[in-house]
Structure 1
Amino acid sequence: MTFKRTCDVERQDQYTIEFDESVLNEEWMEQFRETFYDFTTLTEHAEHIAQFRARNGSKFIEGYGIPLENGKAPRWADMKDVNKAINIIDGNASMDVYSY
Structure 2
Amino acid sequence: MKQRYISTQIKAAVKVNTERLYFNWQLGRDLVERKAEEKWGKGIVEQLSLDLQNEFPDEKGFSARNLWNCQNVSYSKLHFSSFLKINTALSVPQKDIVLI
TM superposition score category, shorter chain reference: under 0.3
State the TM-score, normalized to the length of structure 2. Answer: 0.26
Between Structure 1 and Structure 2, whose CA radius of gyration is higher? 2
Query: Higher relative CO (CA 8 A, sep ≥ 6), structure 1 or 2?
Result: 1
Structure with greater helix percent: 2
State the TM-score, normalized to the length of structure 1. Answer: 0.26
